[in-house]
């Protein structure tokens, strides 16, 4: 249906969107959590290992990745939920380096030379789209649920949230664990797309890309990622070859301009509310017309 | 609530349909080049024999390199070398009378960027040159092998070439084998018994060297690796690494790192009591003016090996050096320069010997023929003598040098 290049592009964009959503959830609860790449690596290596060694189907590998990601995301979350601000940011970043170092020393995961031989999934794009829809709907419902509002309250003022009866500790743990699930899923899709894994991939640079996509797209809504991920990813890869060397500069200029002109990102809460109101009004007009 | 139920129902239906039409997960093809690899036939006997007319106006060759990022200092010269080779070929009348054009791509130092670029090229390309960094080549290897496109890149270890044979070949000789061969000569020459190895664990090739030394150095030389010291890329202070190495009470030090870190380590060793420079040997990744700039007098007398000889004596090489110096202000020392140049020259020979036409209708047949030709090639006249590929590995000998008066001087 699509060319090889387009298929790769779409799958990688979906991976990035899932990761940005993974970074967005803790942000909603007021935490700058940098463990996204850590959980992505866990998901990727679990899925890759199961596919390579046990020949398991894609969806089983994804479910296993989610389960392991959930557990290994939940355990550090118990600690991170007691921290805030810069402490969370820096200590969660350390997870990336720790895991990278661990993987390098585990021969059964390929060590420093990386893991090859992950099986090919013929319908990966379709699976990726389905996962994106499932996670997108889930996140949308979550954002508009009591949990989502509790996270928003924590983000605004944790003390106030606590005085309103929100259990800030467990709400934060829930946010970080869910973030791990999103990231582990992204990691599994990534593993099947690349079919090779290398410890250096899951690095600080990858985290910077995700955070840039989050801040450029809009850090208060899930819709920003759908614009920023394809936009920023295409800069690196679809530039004319003559100016491709300048892609990093262009990337930086976009980031600076967005932060200066639209600090909330491309898609703001106001914008999403407007769109929502527009459709709600249209729908109610249609209903009224039908009744009349 | 109804909407949610409807949505769940729709998703369940969607998943059900998928389960029905889902193709089986395919194992990746891992043909053994020696046994099960399909050996596609060559399209014709040779040029002028049964070779068809060339069906293209120009041979467009995508060339991938890390023009930006951590290894751009060798990435840009590699692109230059490919473009220079194309210019040389065109001046000689092109390939089968048709000019060649290099299309340069920057993979940065990123596997994802490399994979994305290559995935956009594999549908139409006859042959791809590059990329150059191990993480990137690892990422693109499955894409080119799946698409059955011959690719000469930085595939410097046999396992990855075997897994994807015959589509992947290396543009330079295997680094870890070169490290072992060079270290063996150096150790035997000087009679060392206890060696310390410095390496960067995050570098695939250097990690492979460490593994090879652990497994084979003692058998090859009788010397023992008494300690390994890890130095990550970008380390500013290499003093602690030098102190750790000195603690092993070794006879000699093999520095398997890129120029920046290698230079700092050598400085630290020399300033902390390693008086005999012959006890220090470095790998090809450190070769070049950067190391000499960092070390100054501390580099005098050390050993270092490389995959190219900057002082090679031939007209072709001298002309290349002149052009290169005009572009970069100094002579070439990075192996990708000869690697990319030689690959283009080999492509010319391959197309002419096999009578490749570039006809889109024969694309896969010709790709297979080119891949097989490169995987086990005949002898090719390169910029620094003849070479060939055996099972995808470029076969060239490591060249040993010592630093004398701020210059690299070849050691017999």
Question: Residue B138 in contact with residue B207, Cβ under 8 Å?
Answer: no
Joined tokens for residue B216: 């084979």
The reply to whether B147 touches chain A by the CB within 8 Å rule is yes
Of residues B178 and B33, more confidently modeled? B178
- Strand pairing category for B194-199 and B252-256: parallel
pLDDT digits (tens, 9 = 90+) for B283-333: 998 998 889 999 999 999 999 999 999 989 999 999 999 999 999 998 998
Structure tokens at A65: 């990745």
pLDDT of residue A23: 95
| pLDDT tens, residue by residue, B266-277 | 999 999 999 999
Does the distance separating the beta carbons of B26 and A114 come in below 8 Å?
A: no
pLDDT of residue B23: 38
Question: Choosing among B68, B70, B106, B146, which should be mutated to test the A contact, i.e. which has the most A CBs within 10 A?
Answer: B106
Q: How far apart are CA A46 and CA A189, in angstroms?
A: 11
Entry pTM: 0.83
- Confirm if B156 and B187 have CB atoms less than 8 A apart: no
- Nearest CA to A36 out of A220, A190, A151 is that of A190
What mean pLDDT, rounded, does chain B reach? Answer: 87
Q: Which of A137, A195, A248 sits opposite B28 (nearest CB)?
A: A195
pLDDT at B117: 92
- Contact at CB, B207 and A117, closer than 8 angstroms: no
Q: Which of B147, B146, B145 is nearest to B155 (CA)?
A: B145
Cβ proximity of B213 and B225 under 8 Å:
yes
Q: Which pLDDT score is estimated for B3?
A: 55
Q: So what's the pLDDT on residue B387? A: 93
Radius of gyration, CA atoms only, chain B: 24
Give the list of residues 6+ apart from residue B42 with CB closer than 8 angstroms, or none: B354, B369, B372, B373
Contact B4 A244 (CB under 8 A): no
In the numeric block, the tokens 């870890």 are attached to B176
**Partner residue opposite A198 with nearest CB, options B4, B106, B138:** B138
Cβ neighbours of B112 in A, within 8 Å: 12, 194, 201
Tokens of B173: 């000789």
Report the pLDDT value the prediction gives residue B41, as an integer from 0 to 100: 43
- pLDDT of the residue at B33: 37
Residue of B nearest to A241 (CA): B105
Distance in Å, alpha carbon of B329 to nearest chain A alpha carbon: 21
Whether residue B35 has pLDDT greater than 90: no
Of the candidates B379, B349, B186, the one whose C-alpha atom is nearest the C-alpha of residue B280 is B186
Whether residue B100 contacts residue B86, with contact meaning beta carbons closer than 8 Å, is answered with yes
Which residues have C-beta within 8 Å of that of residue B247, sequence separation ≥ 6? B227
Distance CA B42, CA B142 (A): 23
How high is the pLDDT of residue B375? 97
Residue B19 has a pLDDT of 39
The predicted structure's pLDDT at residue B37: 37
Report percent pLDDT > 90 for chain B: 69
User: In this model, does residue B39 exceed pLDDT 50?
Assistant: no
List of domains in chain B: 20-168+316-390 (3.40.50.2300), 175-306+399-410 (3.40.50.2300)
Q: What gap in Å lies between CA B348 and CA B54, rounded to an integer?
A: 13
Residue A120 pairs in a beta bridge with: B26
Contact map slice: A 128-167 vs B, CB within 8 A? 130, 133-134, 137, 141
**pLDDT value at residue B4:** 53
**Residues A35-87: tens digit of each pLDDT:** 999 999 999 999 999 999 999 999 999 999 999 999 999 999 999 998 888 89
Whether residues B163 and A4 touch (CB distance < 8 A) is answered with: no
Residue B26 has a pLDDT of: 41
Would the pLDDT of B25 be above 70? Answer: no
- Separation of alpha carbons B113 and A250, rounded Å: 16
Question: In B148-278, which residue ranges form alpha helices assigned H by DSSP?
Answer: 158-163, 175-190, 204-212, 218-221, 239-246, 259-271
Strand (E) or helix (H) holding B55: none
Average pLDDT estimate for B194-219: 90
CB neighbourhood size of B19 (10 A):
9
What per-residue confidence (pLDDT) applies to A148? Answer: 93
Q: Inform me whether the pLDDT recorded for B246 exceeds 70.
A: yes
Q: Which residues of chain A have pLDDT under 70?
A: none
Cα(B92)–Cα(B176) distance, integer angstroms = 36
DSSP 8-state assignment for residue B97: T
Averaged over B69-90, what is the pLDDT? 92
Reading the block at residue B258, the tokens are 């890129």
Q: Which residue has 């040993």 as its token pair?
A: B400
**Residue environment code for B78-95, b if the CB has 16+ CB neighbours within 10 A, otherwise e:** bbbbbbbbbebbbeeebb
B134-147: pLDDT as tens digits: 778 889 999 999 99
CB contact under 8 A, B28 and A248: no
Q: Nearest by CB to B22, from A7, A12, A123: name it.
A: A123
User: Which SS3 state, helix, strand or coil, does residue B296 take?
Assistant: helix
């Amino acid at each position: 249906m699509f060319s090889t290049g387009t298929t790769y592009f779409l799958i990688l964009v979906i991976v990035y969107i899932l990761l940005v959503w993974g970074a967005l959830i803790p942000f909603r609860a007021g935490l700058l959590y940098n463990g996204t790449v850590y959980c992505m690596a866990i998901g990727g290596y679990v899925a890759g290992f199961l596919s390579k060694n046990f020949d398991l189907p894609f969806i089983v590998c994804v479910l296993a990745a989610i389960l392991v990601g959930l557990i290994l995301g939940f355990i550090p979350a118990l600690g991170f939920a007691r921290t805030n601000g810069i402490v969370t940011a820096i200590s969660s970043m350390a997870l990336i380096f720790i895991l990278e170092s661990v993987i390098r020393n585990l021969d059964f995961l390929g060590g420093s030379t990386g893991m090859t031989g992950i099986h090919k999934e013929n319908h990966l794009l379709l699976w990726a789209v389905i996962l994106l829809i499932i996670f997108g709907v889930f996140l949308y419902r979550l954002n508009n649920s009591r949990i989502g509002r509790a996270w928003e309250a924590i983000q605004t003022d944790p003390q106030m949230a606590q005085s309103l009866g929100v259990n800030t500790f467990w709400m934060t743990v829930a946010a970080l664990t869910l973030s791990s699930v999103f990231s582990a899923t992204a990691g599994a899709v990534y593993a099947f797309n690349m079919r090779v894994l290398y410890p250096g991939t899951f690095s600080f640079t990858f985290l910077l890309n995700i955070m840039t996509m989050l801040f450029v797209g809009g850090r208060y809504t899930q819709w920003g990622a759908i614009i920023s991920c394809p936009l920023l990813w295409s800069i690196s890869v679809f530039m004319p070859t003559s100016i491709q060397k300048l892609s990093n500069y262009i990337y930086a200029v976009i980031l600076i301009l967005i932060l200066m002109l639209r600090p909330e990102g491309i898609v703001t809460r106001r914008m999403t509310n407007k769109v929502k109101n527009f459709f709600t009004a249209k729908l109610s007009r249609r209903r009224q017309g039908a009744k009349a | 609530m109804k909407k949610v139920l409807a949505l769940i129902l729709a998703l369940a239906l969607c998943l059900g349909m998928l389960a029905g039409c889902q193709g089986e997960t395919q194992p990746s093809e891992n043909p053994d080049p020696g046994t099960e690899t399909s050996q596609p036939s060559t399209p014709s006997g040779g040029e002028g024999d049964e070779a068809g007319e060339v069906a293209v106006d120009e041979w467009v060759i995508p060339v991938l390199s890390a023009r930006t990022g951590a290894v751009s200092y060798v990435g840009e010269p590699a692109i230059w070398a490919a473009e220079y080779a194309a210019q040389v070929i065109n001046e000689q009348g092109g390939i089968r009378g048709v000019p060649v054009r290099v299309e340069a791509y920057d993979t940065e130092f990123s596997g994802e960027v490399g994979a994305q670029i290559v995935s956009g090229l594999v549908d139409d390309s006859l042959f791809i040159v590059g990329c150059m960094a191990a993480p990137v080549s690892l990422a693109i290897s499955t894409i080119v092998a799946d698409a059955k496109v011959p690719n000469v890149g930085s595939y410097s270890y046999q396992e990855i070439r075997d897994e994807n044979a015959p589509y992947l070949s290396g543009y330079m000789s295997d680094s870890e084998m070169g490290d072992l061969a060079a270290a063996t000569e150096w150790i035997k020459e000087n009679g060392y018994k206890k060696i310390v190895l410095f390496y960067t664990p995050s570098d695939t090739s250097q990690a492979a060297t460490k593994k090879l030394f652990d497994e084979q150095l003692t058998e090859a030389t009788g010397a023992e690796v008494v300690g390994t010291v890890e130095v990550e890329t970008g380390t500013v202070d290499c003093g602690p690494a030098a102190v750790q190495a000195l603690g092993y009470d070794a006879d000699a030090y093999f520095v398997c790192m890129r120029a920046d870190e290698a230079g700092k380590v050598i400085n630290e060793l020399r300033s902390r009591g390693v008086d005999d420079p012959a006890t220090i040997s470095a790998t090809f990744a450190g070769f070049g003016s950067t190391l000499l700039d960092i070390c100054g007098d501390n580099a005098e007398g050390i050993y270092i090996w490389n995959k190219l000889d900057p002082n090679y004596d031939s007209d072709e090489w001298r002309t290349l050096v002149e052009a290169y110096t005009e572009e970069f202000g100094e002579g070439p020392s990075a192996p990708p320069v000869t690697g990319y140049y030689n690959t283009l020259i080999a492509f010319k020979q391959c197309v002419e010997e096999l009578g490749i036409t570039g006809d889109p209708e024969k694309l896969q047949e010709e790709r297979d023929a080119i891949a097989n030709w490169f995987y086990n090639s005949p002898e090719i006249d390169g910029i620094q003598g003849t070479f060939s590929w055996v099972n995808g590995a470029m076969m060239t000998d490591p060249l040993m040098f010592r630093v004398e008066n701020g210059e690299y001087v070849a050691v017999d």
